[in-house]
């Protein structure tokens, strides 16, 4: 896919998790990340305020890397780089 947002971060897949509550944004991101190749980037948008804590914890456990996270107009955005060998949780 190889797209980019306004701030020029390139990503390979995107997930629109707006309107979904915990744990759905994480579960949907996990499915996509499992299908992606090492070092590819997933761009996630979510509205759940807990998503920031959830994604930080998930990435810490699996070794995926949050390249950038920000809140734009009440939408939480995450750029997550897939780990070479992610840990299963």
Domains, the chain, in order of start with CATH, read 9-81 (3.30.110.40)
User: Residue 70's CB: how many other CB atoms inside 10 A?
Assistant: 11
Torsion of CA 29, 78, 23, 27, to 10 degrees: 10
Q: Give pLDDT tens digits for 15-24.
A: 999 999 989 9
Torsion of CA 75, 34, 21, 76, to 10 degrees: -10
DSSP state of 67: E
Q: Give pLDDT tens digits for 30-72.
A: 999 999 999 999 999 999 999 999 999 999 999 999 999 999 9
pTM of the full structure: 0.90
Residues with a known catalytic role: 22
Cβ atoms of 52 and 74 within 8 Å: the answer is: no
């Amino acid at each position: 896919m190889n797209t980019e947002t306004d701030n020029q971060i390139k990503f390979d897949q995107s997930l629109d998790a707006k309107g979904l509550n915990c744990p759905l944004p994480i579960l949907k991101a996990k499915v996509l990340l499992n299908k992606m190749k090492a070092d590819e980037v997933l761009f996630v948008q979510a509205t759940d305020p807990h998503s920031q804590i959830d994604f930080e914890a998930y990435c810490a456990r699996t070794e995926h890397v949050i390249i950038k996270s920000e809140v734009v107009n009440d939408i939480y955005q995450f750029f997550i780089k897939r780990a070479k060998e992610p840990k299963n949780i």
